[in-house]
């Protein structure tokens, strides 16, 4: 649905419904059409800088206009060196809402051929051990519950062999059962690797079909899916209601460089027009290791709110 058509429907809906007593359902429809969706940010975007000044970084993010946060791993450990309740209080005090947190599925190891990213000092980043769902599942679930967040997300998990895929599926199902007990929705986040065949099977399809669809939802990283040769809208239509969370970032024409939203080749208007099919509740801008994080997220925010009008 393009912008002009949406504005027409909003105006028409207001005229028609204004002359009658609004039912609860009708009133909700008008509110849905009129209200823009809060724009969220995945804090991995500021991974290289947030630990040096957590409050200052979050203050700059809030000043741009972001309203929802999805946290990720911190070099300080925990939640950027804080306990869950302390981090939540800081986010809330700045007028934002903490919705989701990323963890890893198995003990962390760099993929073959990858090197640690370089920090501001020009040296490879170093950090302590990362908790993971395979070994520390209950602790991670309990901390998420303590923070009062709605979603716990597996950021990545091994899928290079069928045995790794089977192990990942077991971890996901087990975690989904645990989060359900504390009122949190468990979600899996993709990269592009899950869309490449492994021993004749597509890992992402196995993750979709062999995990409990109510306990294990999906956070579709739109750019990684496109890089993996997928059409996000087709995935939405094949799996309606399975994608409550999205990651929103752009790609250049070669699909090898991540760009701020709206400055690359991904057709976000078409994707957002199909958000109702997905069951999308929240979306988070992300830019993996940008040269200038604040310039990037300001550009993405401007495109989403002024051009895309999501």
Same domain, 188 and 157: yes
Domain range for residue 22?
1-35
Residue 124, pLDDT score: 75
Residue 36, pLDDT score: 72
Same domain, 26 and 61: no
User: What do you get for the CA distance between the two ends of the chain, in Å?
Assistant: 11
Same domain, 2 and 112: no
DSSP state string for 179-198 = HHHTT-EEEEE--SGGGS-B
Same domain, 90 and 120: yes
Residue 287 φ/ψ region, left for φ over 0, alpha for ψ in the -120 to 50 degree band, beta for the rest: beta
Same domain, 8 and 95: no
Residues 203, 230: contact at Cβ < 8 Å? no
Same domain, 124 and 164: yes
Residue 110 has a CB neighbour count (10 Å cut-off) of 8
Same domain, 16 and 85: no
Same domain, 149 and 30: no
Backbone angles phi, psi at 103, to 5 degrees: -135, 170
Same domain, 50 and 142: yes
Residue 111, pLDDT score: 61
Rounded to an integer, what distance in angstroms lies between the CA atom of residue 244 and that of residue 236?
Answer: 11
| CATH code of 71's domain | 3.20.20.150
Same domain, 88 and 11: no
Rounded to an integer, what distance in angstroms lies between the CA atom of residue 7 and that of residue 138?
Answer: 47
Instruction: Please identify every stretch of the chain with a pLDDT value under 70, giving residue numbers as ranges.
Output: 1-35, 110-121, 125-128
Residue 135, pLDDT score: 97
Rounded to an integer, what distance in angstroms lies between the CA atom of residue 16 and that of residue 87?
Answer: 45
Q: Which of 66, 18, 7, 11 is nearest to 42 (CA)?
A: 66
Burial 238-250 (b: 16+ CB within 10 A, else e): ebeebbbbbbbbb
Same domain, 21 and 147: no
Number of domains in the chain: 2
Residue 241, pLDDT score: 96
């Amino acid at each position: 649905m393009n912008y002009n058509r949406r504005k027409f429907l909003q105006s028409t809906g207001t005229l028609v419904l204004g002359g009658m007593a609004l039912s609860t359902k009708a009133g909700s429809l008008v509110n849905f059409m009129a209200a823009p969706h809060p724009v969220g940010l995945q804090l991995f975007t500021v991974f290289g800088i947030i630990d040096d000044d957590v409050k200052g970084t979050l203050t700059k993010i809030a000043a741009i206009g972001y309203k929802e946060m999805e946290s990720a791993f911190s070099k300080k450990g925990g939640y950027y060196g804080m306990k869950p309740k302390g981090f939540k209080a800081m986010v809330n005090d700045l007028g934002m809402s903490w919705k989701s947190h990323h963890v890893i599925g198995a003990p962390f190891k760099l993929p073959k051929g990858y090197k640690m990213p370089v920090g501001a000092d020009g040296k490879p980043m170093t950090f302590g051990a990362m908790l993971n769902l395979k070994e520390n599942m209950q602790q991670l679930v309990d901390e998420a519950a303590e923070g009062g967040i709605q979603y716990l997300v597996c950021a990545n998990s091994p899928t290079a062999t069928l045995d790794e895929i089977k192990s990942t599926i077991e971890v996901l199902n087990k975690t989904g059962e645990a989060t359900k007990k504390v009122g949190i929705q468990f979600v899996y986040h993709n990269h592009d690797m899950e869309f490449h065949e492994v021993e004749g099977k597509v890992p992402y399809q196995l993750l979709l079909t062999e995990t409990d669809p109510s306990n294990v939802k999906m956070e579709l990283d739109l750019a990684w899916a496109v890089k993996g040769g997928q059409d996000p809208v087709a995935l939405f239509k094949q799996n309606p209601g399975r994608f409550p969370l999205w990651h929103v970032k752009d790609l250049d024409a070669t699909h090898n460089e991540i760009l701020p939203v709206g400055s690359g080749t991904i057709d976000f208007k078409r994707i957002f027009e199909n958000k109702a099919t997905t069951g999308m509740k929240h979306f988070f801008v992300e830019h993996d290791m940008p040269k200038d994080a604040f310039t990037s997220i300001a550009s993405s925010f401007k495109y989403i709110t002024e051009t895309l009008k999501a």
